[in-house]
Amino acid sequence: MPGPRTRPHRTDALIAATGLTGGLVMWWLGLYSSPALAQGRENWVLLPLAVICAAALLRRTWQPGALLLGCAAVVADQATGSLVVTVALFTDLCYAAVMYGAPRVARAVPMASIVLSVVGTGLLLVLLRDPQALLLGAVLGLVTAGSAFTGAITRAHRDDAAAERLRAEQTRLLAELDRTQAVTAERSRVARELHDVVANHLSAIALHSTAALSLDEPAVTHHALGVIRENSTQGLTEMRRLIGLLRDGTPEAPSPAPSLDGLTALITRANESGAATGLRFTVHDNRPDAPLPAPVELAAYRIVQESLANAVKHGAPGGAAVRLDVHDDTLRVEITSPYGERRRATDVPGTGTGLTGMRERAALLGGALTAGRDGGAWHVRADLPLDPRERQEPPEPPTPAETAPRPEGSARP
């Protein structure tokens, strides 16, 4: 906000100069409102004129001082014959006191003007004992109360306009915040899709290419090349779909969202990928026959997909199990895989984003996900409500088991 003004506003200076010029012209022409009072004191009327013109210079910057100075000037003006210009300038000072004064002054001046008008009219009736005193009281009310209430109405409109501008600015800022949050949420969603779909295919390619290079067995090499080709084709298809979605807003070829109906195919691919390392997967699906909500099935599918990919990349030889159960309107997904104590030659370094993405998927549905070492196994458990509600809360912090230091070579997401 701008600081207090140190000199009169140019509009105030123009008002004061115009009033002084007009008053001097009326004095020179002898145009007094009360000629009888002016006789013999014609020059005295210039003193209140000069005082009220000085008050007009301060009408914005010195309230209520300017109004009080104007009151003294207008009383002296009435006693010396009165010039219409002096009364007009006093009317403007009443308006300016309400318009530019402090809130307390703006509230007090209209009430004081009403009291002054009523008391002044009563005094005129008592002193003059003539009904025409009511007309003088009406003029007094017009000069004081009329101008004060005009200033109050104008100030109310000005404050309303300022409030509307502030509200519009707040709305703009909220809209910008919503847009930023929407962009961030969309970037997070695309990042999860890239990791869950494309990154897993690339991890499988890296895993099997490493195995083909490290093992001098034609059968293993042939099998690894087949898996590489299949994953590269699928990864390229998914990449094209995501690029089309980002570029045009719609995928090139609409495809249904993954669901738990594809769990068997997911386990089959995981067994093919884990065969070279002696890792076997089994599934225990205890879901009811009725389909679950689509967001829940998608989240459960992606969590299982990411967990299986991590088990293939980092797990030790042995049996891994996937279990799905429904308890109290909650789908529980549990994946248990052998915990690898040593890094194998075929291990692929993890980025740490897989666990973050799984936790975000669970949190967006109002659920929770935990992951960590449980004895000689790595255990992932997700509880997904079957009545998902969108939540923008950040995921829970990692548990001590997730952040505890692990032996070298036992990488996990």
Task: Give the residue extent of every domain in the chain.
Answer: 10-173, 259-413
Q: How far apart are CA 163 and CA 167, in angstroms?
A: 6
Q: How far apart are CA 151 and CA 148, in angstroms?
A: 5
Lowest mean pLDDT across 45-49, 117-121, 217-221:
217-221
Q: How far apart are CA 395 and CA 376, in angstroms?
A: 27
pLDDT band at 401 (very low <50, low <70, confident <90, very high): very low
Q: Which residue has the higher pLDDT, 140 or 216?
A: 140
pLDDT confidence of residue 125: 78
pLDDT confidence of residue 341: 58
pLDDT band at 395 (very low <50, low <70, confident <90, very high): very low
Q: Which residues contact 133 (CB under 8 A, 6 or more apart)?
A: 121, 124, 125, 127
Q: Which residue has the higher pLDDT, 385 or 2?
A: 385
Percent over 90 (pLDDT), the chain: 22
Average pLDDT over residues 297-307: 87
Question: What DSSP element (H or E) covers 295?
Answer: helix 294-314
pLDDT confidence of residue 342: 46
Average pLDDT over residues 117-143: 78
Q: Which residue has the higher pLDDT, 251 or 52?
A: 52
pLDDT at 265 over 60: yes
Q: How many CA atoms lie within 13 A of 211 on its CB side?
A: 28
Q: How far apart are CA 83 and CA 72, in angstroms?
A: 15
Six token digits for residue 107: 């509230």
Q: Sign of dihedral through CA atoms 396, 402, 404, 405?
A: negative
Six token digits for residue 243: 């690029």
Lowest mean pLDDT across 90-99, 132-141, 263-272:
132-141
pLDDT confidence of residue 164: 93
Q: How far apart are CA 259 and CA 406, in angstroms?
A: 34
pLDDT at 21 over 90: yes
- Tell me the pLDDT tens digit for each residue of 23-59: 999 989 988 888 877 777 788 989 999 999 999 999 9
pLDDT at 390 over 50: no
pLDDT confidence of residue 5: 54
Instruction: Say if residues 100 and 60 touch (Cβ distance below 8 Å).
Output: yes
Q: How far, in whole angstroms, is CA 31 from its chain's centroid?
A: 64
Q: Which residue has the higher pLDDT, 216 or 413?
A: 216
pLDDT confidence of residue 2: 40
Residue 67 has φ and ψ, to the nearest 5°, of -70, -40
Q: Which residue has the higher pLDDT, 341 or 377?
A: 377
Task: Give the chain's length.
Answer: 413
DSSP helix, strand, coil percent of the chain (3-state; round to 5): 65, 10, 25
Residue 381 has φ and ψ, to the nearest 5°, of -135, 130
Lowest mean pLDDT across 22-36, 49-63, 178-192, 237-251:
237-251
pLDDT band at 20 (very low <50, low <70, confident <90, very high): very high
pLDDT confidence of residue 383: 93
* Rg, C-alpha atoms of the chain: 43
pLDDT confidence of residue 167: 92
Average pLDDT over residues 388-404: 44
How many helices (H) and strands (E) in the chain? 14, 5
Lowest mean pLDDT across 237-251, 295-309, 323-337:
237-251
259-413 fold: Heat Shock Protein 90 (3.30.565)
One-letter amino acid of 264: T
DSSP annotation of 339: P
Q: How far apart are CA 80 and CA 44, in angstroms?
A: 6
Q: Which residue has the higher pLDDT, 263 or 339?
A: 263
pLDDT band at 399 (very low <50, low <70, confident <90, very high): very low
Q: Which residue has the higher pLDDT, 265 or 201?
A: 265
pLDDT at 183 over 80: yes
Percent over 70 (pLDDT), the chain: 78
